[in-house]
Amino acid sequence: MSRATSDSIGLSWPSIARLGLVQAAIGAVVVLMTSTLNRVMVVEMGLLAAVPGMLVGLHFAVQILRPRMGFGSDRDGRRITWIVGGMALTSVSGLAAAVATAWMSSAPGPAMALAVVSFFLLGVGVSAGSTPFLAYMAERVSEPRMAGAAALTWILMIVGIIVTASVAGSFLDPYSPQRLVAVAAGVTGGAFLLTLIGVAGRRGSEPIHLRPASHTASFRDVLGAMWGDPQSRAFATFIFLSMLAYSAQDIILEPFAGSVFGMTPGESTRIAGLQHGGVLLGMIAGAVGAARWSTLPRWAAAGCGASALALVALVLMPATGSVPGLKSAVFALGFANGVFAVAAIGSMMGLTVKGRAGGAGMRMGFWGAAQAIAYGIGGVLGAAGSDLARSALGSAAAGYAVVFSAEAVLFVAAAGLVLTRVREGDVQRFDALRQAGEAMAVGD
């Protein structure tokens, strides 16, 4: 197929996969900062879980800038420049956070100040890189391929998380501050290299659909139009509630494995990799299932309900003392989360095409901000809640059980909400995903 014909139908599958390396890079740096460094602070440094929880919460709170970043990339159209610049800042902040963590035992005050700056800049970098990236994809992927492209790039991000968790876990044992910084340097440097490979040759590529953003409307006017659009507002609310239910376990899962089951930093990091492996398989299963049976609301509800059951299993695991049981529950939680993620991704891509207010960057930023804010709040509540419950109940296992139980309740509530308040006509079915699968089977 000629380049002209290929450009007229949007990005080819190889191009989509290569661009997905940017998502893999983001996942690699974020899992290092939100999972591995969190575990080291709590278990090796003896800090309260609320400390890394607040740092992670800061990086999510800063992502309220996502709409502004998306609006900026809509205005100047230089999305590749935004992506590379954002990922450079993300990589630098990841390495600086590792240095701060290693420094905490000898100079806690300056080290904590550096950690605060690092996590703040992580939020800025992710906002500046990820939001224009998603907008770039939405503008250049043909509609029949949109859901497949979203799933493919998200799966690559999960792969980046899994590989980082596994490799970092292997090289961190036996733990030392110097080893932590060396591993972080390798992860962040590799992530930036993946970004450059992903966007190489993409400058100047023209969108195939979606109207250009208005250059006369102000940011406030466009944001107001987004909130005034019932479809955009309803989806943002759903994202916020579901991510609040999901996010609280992310910050405490590795400390739970270390404190209650006595796992080493490497072992607990591999537990996180096991969870993300479940997410990967869950996304594949959810995408295939939703392409053939039922609709988005029911699959979203199924993912939420299964997540609640997996959290109940985690609550029961300390009483059994079973490490295999812990691993099974963690994998099941990841699988259920993956099913839910497919539903959210497909809906986001569909609404990007159909949205009436704002450019692609603004719309992606609007929903991304809702996700990030919920994630940050959930992380802080999960970490602080486990500390308070542990102090009140006198048991680490009981403290974590309280948080896991609260999350299960939230997931059940989210499942009920999506079944009763989200109409099938408000979001796309997965017909586009099935069409994308057929297109992938026959090639370009």
The pLDDT > 70 percentage for the chain reads 84
| Residue-range domains of the chain with CATH | 9-199+218-442 (1.20.1250.20)
SS3 of 47, please? Answer: coil
Helix axis angle for 253-261 and 265-292, nearest 10°, is 130
SS3 of 389, please? Answer: helix
Residue 107 has pLDDT above 60, yes or no: yes
Q: Rounded mean pLDDT of 250-279?
A: 80
Q: Measured between alpha carbons, how far is 157 from 117 in angstroms, rounded to an integer? A: 25
Q: Measured between alpha carbons, how far is 127 from 266 in angstroms, rounded to an integer? A: 29
pLDDT number for residue 264: 79
Which residues are within 8 A (CB) of 33 and not within 5 positions of it... i.e. 6 or more apart? 56, 59, 93, 94, 97, 118, 119, 122
Positive or negative, the CA dihedral 257, 259, 263, 266 is: positive
Cα–Cα nearest to 162, from 341, 23, 355 = 23
The length of the chain is 444
Over the stretch 172-218, which tens digit does the pLDDT of each residue have? Answer: 878 888 899 999 999 999 999 999 999 998 876 666 655 555 566 78
SS3 of 253, please? Answer: helix
Which residues are within 8 A (CB) of 341 and not within 5 positions of it... i.e. 6 or more apart? 154, 279, 282, 283, 286, 303
pLDDT number for residue 100: 93
pLDDT number for residue 159: 82
Q: Rounded mean pLDDT of 317-329?
A: 87
DSSP classification of residue 424: G
pLDDT-wise least confident of 70-84, 191-205, 263-277, 330-344: 263-277
The pLDDT > 90 percentage for the chain reads 25
Residue 431 has pLDDT above 60, yes or no: no
Residue 428 has pLDDT above 50, yes or no: no
Q: Measured between alpha carbons, how far is 286 from 47 in angstroms, rounded to an integer? A: 38
pLDDT number for residue 435: 39
Q: Measured between alpha carbons, how far is 57 from 33 in angstroms, rounded to an integer? A: 12
Q: Rounded mean pLDDT of 307-334?
A: 91
Highest mean pLDDT among 71-75, 273-277, 349-353: 71-75
CB 334 within 8 A of CB 253: no
Which structure tokens are listed for 5? 């014909």
CB 107 within 8 A of CB 165: no
Q: Rounded mean pLDDT of 82-105?
A: 94
Using pLDDT thresholds of 50, 70 and 90, give the confidence band for residue 30. Answer: confident
Q: Rounded mean pLDDT of 420-433?
A: 50
pLDDT number for residue 52: 84
Q: Rounded mean pLDDT of 322-351?
A: 83
Over the stretch 393-421, which tens digit does the pLDDT of each residue have? Answer: 878 888 888 889 999 998 988 888 777 76
DSSP classification of residue 64: G
Report the alpha-carbon angle 176-180-198, nearest 5: 165
Residue 256 has pLDDT above 60, yes or no: yes
pLDDT number for residue 208: 63
Residue 9 has pLDDT above 80, yes or no: no
Pick left, alpha or beta for residue 423 (phi over 0 → left; psi -120 to 50 → alpha; otherwise beta). Answer: beta
pLDDT number for residue 351: 66
Over the stretch 213-225, which tens digit does the pLDDT of each residue have? Answer: 556 678 888 888 8
pLDDT number for residue 439: 34
- Position with higher pLDDT, 376 vs 73: 73
pLDDT number for residue 443: 34
CA Rg value for the chain: 21
pLDDT number for residue 215: 60
Tell me how far CA of residue 77 lies from CA of 23, 142, 217, in angstroms: 20, 19, 16
Residue 368 has pLDDT above 50, yes or no: yes
pLDDT number for residue 323: 85
Instruction: Give the up-direction half-sphere exposure of residue 194: CA atoms within 13 A in the CB hemisphere.
Output: 26
DSSP H or E stretch at residue 150: helix 146-172
Which residues partner with 266 through β-bridges? Answer: none
Average pLDDT of the chain is 80
